[in-house]
A and B are shown apart, each in its own frame.
Chain A
Amino acid sequence: MGNSGNAPEQLSYFSSEQHRLRMAVREVIKKEVLPHIEGWEEAGGFPRETYDLFGDLGFLGIGFPEDVGGSGGDIFDLIAVSEEIMRSGSNGFAAGIGSLNIALPPIARHGTPEQIERFVRPVLQGKRIAALGITEPGGGSDVANIQTTAVRDGEGYRVNGSKTFITSGARADQLTCAVRTGESGAHGISFLVIEKETPGYTVGSVLKKMGWWASDTAEIFLDDCRVPVANLIGKENEGFYTIMENFQAERLQLSVMANMTSQMALEEALAYTKEREAFGRPLKGFQVIRHKLVDMATLVEISREFTYRVAAKINAGIDQVKEISMAKNFACSVSDRVTHEAVQLFGGYGYMRGYLVERLYRDNRILSIGGGTTEIMKEIISKLI
């Protein structure tokens, strides 16, 4: 957990209610997830019932207002839940169970009451699985260049194109999909919710990845899909702004994931270097090792505090586009370094599957790519400084 949980309440970012929520999620992860996580990682997915369970407990609705079927709570409720879900030790599980956190906000925020009934409530209850579809085979970071087209045709759109690297993509019931409805560039993009049953919607093979095994990642092909106008989210051609808004939340999530990845790698390294002996003393008895651990711990501390600070400002409604981009880059560079060093400290064991640091190392690698690469973050920051 974030160490700030130990801080005096007036200094902590988390209220005592949020702390209780954290403890509740921690218990569920311990009882319902940790005993199975190795198997889910091997199998490349977790049971669908897990969504039901998390929905019933109200965990899926955290951060969404009650009038859309959510459990309420602010950004720190969501962070507390995310941090504890990360305690599963599997970024893949966290990303899979949490894909609604990137797929639903555009609908919850801009959707009609009918859209909220159809596409938000059932997902927050764990009855339907939602995925976000932005990235395409030909363009990842270059969002304004989306090629998937939606052409108006009577009461609906005809959608053609494909989306890739879609988290929860293999079994999602609905895709919050960015499409081109207008001119080229940023001002011709809209969001449609496309349901899995739509004729022409096909899921490619599940992509085999370096890490995030417990989450299904797939390519989705849209071949002349007829999507009713009723599935348009917000106004036509104003989707780009929604994407950008959504990215802020996703980048905060990824920062939290990176920080927790670092935190767990650090804890593993601290425990291991205490017990493992070489040359007649515990590894921690070596100054170089001790100092390395100190550097790791210092970076983890700074990164977590920075992320919390940015989250608090977002919570207060202050624009944090620059800061969240910085926080993501910083958190990912810290988790790159800390997971690398943790494997090093474990020596040969760190290279073996079955050790948490091995999985953290693999899982970590996508964090500085997904949700906007480090390079894209720098482009954004450079415009704002």
Chain B
Amino acid sequence: MSKHLYFTKEHDQVRKAIRDFVNQRITPFVDEWEENGTAPLHELFKEMGTLGFLGIRYDPKYGGEGLDYWYETIMLEECAHIPCGGIPMAIAVQTNMATPAIAEFGSEYLKETYLKGAIKGDMVGAIAVTEPDAGSDVAALKTYARRDGDDYLLNGSKTYITNGTQADFLTLLARTSYDSGYHAFSLFVVPTDLPGFQVSRKLDKLGMRSSDTAELYFDNLRLPKENLIGAEGEGFIYQMKQFQHERFSALPMCYIGAEDIIRETVDYLRGRIVFGKPLIKKQVLRHRLVDWLSENEGLRQLTYHIVRMKMAGQDATREISMGKLIGGSLLNRVADGCLQMHGGMGFMNEMRISRAFRDARLISIGGGASEVMSDIIAKLEGF
């Protein structure tokens, strides 16, 4: 393990604090939250906010810790140890999906109100981009924010919104013009207590059961113009940047998640006696495990390379897209293969591997499908 090349004693202290919290305040409740199809995010985020976990790299002026991307990576890694995908995802929505654009492009007012609220854990955030007819094809978005005096009037719907039934605010991408091209969109912060906001329904999913997902509806929602993030017409550009934080957060989920289920599977194989010997003695199984670990190490090192690029102020869109592409594929293969090694038990809901298999399936769809990652990379490569 090359951890010591990048992580100091100070890093380890933060890591331990997060790990202790996860072990004591999250992991014991995961089964219950999975069963309930939702988690009490207001309570959970308040606790995490009080401990400073939700604002790791944000400005202390707004309650953040002012730390760097290495600390953020530690946070994501430790959350990825939670034995489900739903809760790490809910947390990453708060820290890496719904708030980066507010922090980077938002006004003082927006930062004081929403960024601070999210960092302290007083508010639950969500990111609202996808619509029923527009997933990867952002240009097909229909939700429209029409200027009306000092306000915008918002109409339309959003779907697959993680934290959607509990969110206090949405970071939302809407059309502000019918022109074609990238400057027809703007990014807003939409408080969910305004008239005209409605949760149409909670969605029932294959996996990520502990995380609530909603379809949202906006009917003439009157939004003050102060809730526009940055400049009108720049929303698409902001969101593409925000996506980099979102996609990056998927990487530790992949390599930590994969490693955890591999370790767990090895334990199972040691204890499972078949044909008179523990299954771990089967060469075919050992080699399969080693193949996954090798690929996984590659993904981990690519992630650390990305952190170094970000620390140096470089654009890492290409590498992050590659990481998500590889990560989604790897985690799915590892979850599938480890389930296979559990035999019939692997198909039973009580086993973590069964959950991991269902949860993994989202990684290569959510936050930009694998096909979108491939398109981005091809474009950046110039072909």
Confirm or deny: A352 has a beta carbon within 8 angstroms of a beta carbon on chain B: yes
CA distance A208 to B350 in the complex (A): 7
A351 engages B207 (CB within 8 Å): yes
Given contacts A165-B344, A351-B205, contact A278 B358 (CB under 8 A): no
Confirm or deny: A356 has a beta carbon within 8 angstroms of a beta carbon on chain B: no
B365 engages A210 (CB within 8 Å): no
Given contacts A209-B349, A348-B366, A369-B340, contact A361 B361 (CB under 8 A): yes
B371 engages A288 (CB within 8 Å): yes
Given contacts A347-B136, A348-B130, contact A362 B346 (CB under 8 A): no
B344 engages A344 (CB within 8 Å): no
**Chain A neighbourhood of B160, CB < 8 A:** 348
Confirm or deny: B22 has a beta carbon within 8 angstroms of a beta carbon on chain A: no
**Chain A neighbourhood of B284, CB < 8 A:** 375
Confirm or deny: B348 has a beta carbon within 8 angstroms of a beta carbon on chain A: yes
Chain A residue nearest to B204 in the complex (CB): A353
CA distance A375 to B284 in the complex (A): 9
Contact of A369 among B203, B346, B349, B374 (CB under 8 A): B346
Within 8 A of A (CB), among B35-78: none
Contact with A along B332-367 (1 / 0, CB 8 A): 100010011001101111100010011001101110
Within 8 A of B (CB), among A285-313: 288
A347 engages B365 (CB within 8 Å): yes
Chain B residue nearest to A283 in the complex (CB): B371
**Chain A neighbourhood of B5, CB < 8 A:** none
**Chain A neighbourhood of B274, CB < 8 A:** 139-142, 145
Within 8 A of A (CB), among B270-313: 273-275, 284
B348 engages A358 (CB within 8 Å): no
Confirm or deny: B1 has a beta carbon within 8 angstroms of a beta carbon on chain A: no
Within 8 A of B (CB), among A348-365: 348, 350-354, 358, 361-362, 365
Contact with B along A317-359 (1 / 0, CB 8 A): 0000000000000000000100010011001101111100010
Given contacts A211-B347, A279-B139, contact A344 B369 (CB under 8 A): yes
Given contacts A210-B347, A362-B358, contact A351 B365 (CB under 8 A): yes
Confirm or deny: A190 has a beta carbon within 8 angstroms of a beta carbon on chain B: no
**Chain B neighbourhood of A362, CB < 8 A:** 206, 358
Q: Using A135-B344, A165-B344, A369-B344 as known contacts, list a sample of 19 further A-B pairs with CB atoms less than 8 Å apart, ordered by residue number in A.
A: A140-B343, A208-B348, A210-B354, A278-B134, A278-B137, A279-B139, A344-B365, A344-B369, A347-B365, A347-B369, A348-B160, A348-B366, A351-B207, A353-B204, A361-B206, A368-B340, A369-B343, A370-B344, A373-B340
Some 26 contacts from A to B, beta carbons below 8 A apart, are A141-B274, A141-B343, A142-B275, A145-B274, A145-B275, A208-B348, A208-B350, A209-B349, A277-B140, A278-B134, A278-B135, A279-B137, A288-B371, A343-B361, A343-B365, A347-B136, A347-B365, A348-B135, A351-B206, A352-B203, A353-B204, A365-B346, A368-B340, A369-B340, A373-B343, A375-B340
